Each structure stands twice: as structure tokens, then as C-alpha cells.
Structure 1
């Protein structure tokens, strides 16, 4: 299959420095809100890349659940997601907390790349979120241990789900597994990409400075 002749001209928007906020959280929030308002399918979905001690990069699609401004660091921003701590990504994060998230909204001709360090959020916050999930999703979290582990077949997985469903049928609240919870990617760099005609795309990068301010820079396409 050869797609070398395929071309699209991106002409829906622009990024001009004079029109941009000094803090990237405002622009990120605005872009996510636009994607939601446009009713894109899972506009909060992001590709999330990690790399452990083996130096082999690994990427997967996750759902961002919150945009944050961490209270312990003036000027910073973060994105929160939830997963199994014993997963491959959890092992990578334990070995190397540096990671990158990528949002791509094709119909808006926009992309955001967030680089930073990952840390666990509080157990209370994870627990509150866990109990707000649908009950079947809570049970699935128990089934996923160890996430990415081998399973004989689909039937074995379904059987395990039914076992946990029966186990928790008499409980008023399904407990959150100790191996499950939230992470926050705290950004030190964030790049906004807006497609433009003739491949003269707009790329604006914000770099976090030691004093908590953000340095805005334009990158060549």
C-alpha cells in the first residue's frame, strides 16, 4: 500500500503569539472544550508513551480524566489518568517517570504534545474516582490483575469476571484494588500544533521556567 500521493490541505485555524495566553493550561483547556463541543468521539483520548530501563519505548491510548494545576508547584499543569499500577506502563513509570502524552483531533487539524514526569495521585482521589465508575468497570479492574498478563482464552476472562461479580454481590461497595489508581503527568513542556496550508504548520511550544513562568517559542514546521 502506497499513500505517498495522498495530500490534505489544513486550513481551519492558526496560532499567532499575540493571541495566545501566557499559561498553556488556558489554551489546552480551550482546545479540549472545543473538541467536546464539536462532539468528537472521546475527545479526551490521548496516546501515552513511556520507556523503562530496557530503553524500549511503549505507547498506548488512554483516557485523560482531568486537567490539573498542581498546588505544590506554581505555574505547572498536569493531566490525570487511571490504570493498573502493575501494568507494563506502571513498571515503566516506576523505572523512569519521564513520559509524554499526545492528543490529536483530526477534524480540528490540531495536536497537543505534553512532556513531563509522572507521579501517583492520592489514594483518596483514586478511591473517589473508582467508586464513581460503573460497577462492571470496577469489577473489570479486579479482573485485569496482572494487566497485560497472559490468559488462556476469552472464556477464562469472562469466568473470572463472573467470579468477582458473585464475590462482591453482597457488599455495599466494591473495594478499590491496591494495585489500581491514578497517575498525574506533570508537564514541563507542552507543544501546540495547528495545521496550516502548504505544510507551513504553526507549532508553539511552552517551556516551564524555574520561576514557574512559561517561555513561549515558535518552532519550524
Structure 2
């Protein structure tokens, strides 16, 4: 995570749009992989955090198989970081704290998307739901966090750092957690062939 911090700080300082955008891949109950872009909303020595609807397709997949693959595709800087690891749900206190920090429209949007990933009749249905909920919680009323909405922490067990080179002589190095358990905290580092 120290190496990730160095690279993330450099990318964040470069002015790249949404450096915290990451491709999160889960395993569907059918066994098929599924990727989508989500936003990392923090990291520390224990891992990365992101937030979502627990009832969403990714939330349901994580209930069955709580392991993910994450890719930060910083192509403009010829870098990417690939991470594999397990996930755990964040506690209510951390979920509430982050939910309160979100813009009001995003808070209401979390309620609108109660059935995230489920079909709707059309955009009008979503807009009507948004308007109704906006009236239910006027500006002077705090929007509560839905019980089905919260975050996850990704606990990395493998991290690969890739730096591109025009001659295809890319630099690749991989950190692998010894024993695969975050509690140990010992990592082996190996350089990979381009």
C-alpha cells in the first residue's frame, strides 16, 4: 500500500480526471466474471474502500464470492495497478460518515436506485421517484442512509504495478502477500517479464 500511495499521489497530482476510477471485477453466481467502473473513496494500510448498493448486481455477487480484481487504468501516464483480494463490508459508522459527506442529490439517488441493476419502465419512472423523494426530504431535513447502501474494504493479497515503455520493455513488479493473509503483513516482491 505504500507503493500504491506513491503512485496514486503522483497520478492525483498530475491533473488526470478521476484518478480514483477503478475497474472492479466480481464473480457472478454463475461463475462468469463481470467488470464495471467504480470510484475508490479512500485507502489506507488495510486496503481500498468503495461504496455501493448492497442489493446491486455487484453486491449480490460479493455476498456469494467475496473476492475481487481491481484495475486502475492510468493510461495517460502509461501506468496501471492491478489488485486482487478479498472484501468485507464496512461498519455502519463508516458508512454513515461517508454517506453524510455525499452531495444531497447523490444521497437521494441512493434511495432512487433501491433496486439497482433491476429493469425500469423508463427514465420518467426514475425522475418521478427522485422528485417524490426530494419533496419527502426538503433541504432542511437530513437524508438518512438506506440500510441497503454501504461500503466495502478490499484487502489486497496481490498487487501488480505496471509502467509502460514505448519499446514494449514494460516495467512490471508484483507484490504477493505471504500466506495470503493480511494479518501476516509480509510481502514478497518479484519483477515480471514485460
Match status 1:101 vs 2:70: yes
Counterpart for residue 34 of structure 1: 10
Counterpart for residue 176 of structure 1: 145
Inter-partner Cα distance in structure 1 for 2:140 and 2:13: 39
Counterpart for residue 214 of structure 1: 187
Inter-partner Cα distance in structure 2 for 1:52 and 1:96: 8
Per the alignment, in what secondary structure is the counterpart of residue 40 of structure 1? coil
User: What does 1:155-174 correspond to in 2, within 5 Å?
Assistant: 155-169=124-138, 172-174=141-143
Per the alignment, in what secondary structure is the counterpart of residue 198 of structure 1? coil
Structure 1 residue 172: deviation in Å? 2.7
Runs of 4+ in 1 over 4 A off after TM superposition: none
The normalised TM-score by structure 2 is 0.95
Match status 1:191 vs 2:160: yes
User: What does 1:79-98 correspond to in 2, within 5 Å?
Assistant: 79-98=48-67
Per the alignment, in what secondary structure is the counterpart of residue 152 of structure 1? coil
User: What does 1:5-154 correspond to in 2, within 5 Å?
Assistant: 25-70=1-46, 78-154=47-123
Structure 1 residue 51: deviation in Å? 0.3
The two structures, once aligned, show a CA RMSD in angstroms of 1.1
Per the alignment, in what secondary structure is the counterpart of residue 92 of structure 1? helix
User: Which 5+ residue runs of structure 2 have no aligned equivalent?
Assistant: none
Per the alignment, in what secondary structure is the counterpart of residue 55 of structure 2? coil
Structure 1 residue 171: deviation in Å? 5.9
Inter-partner Cα distance in structure 1 for 2:4 and 2:160: 10
Count of equivalent residues: 190
Inter-partner Cα distance in structure 2 for 1:199 and 1:170: 54
The normalised TM-score by structure 1 is 0.83
Provide Cα deviations, 1:89-141, integer angstroms capped at 9, x if missing partner.
Answer: 00110110111110011111000001000110111001000011011110000
Which structure is larger by alpha-carbon Rg, 1 or 2? Answer: 1
Structure 1 residue 170: deviation in Å? 7.1
Higher relative contact order (CA 8 A, sep 6+): 1
User: Which 5+ residue runs of structure 1 have no aligned equivalent?
Assistant: 1-24, 71-77
Structure 1 residue 52: deviation in Å? 2.5
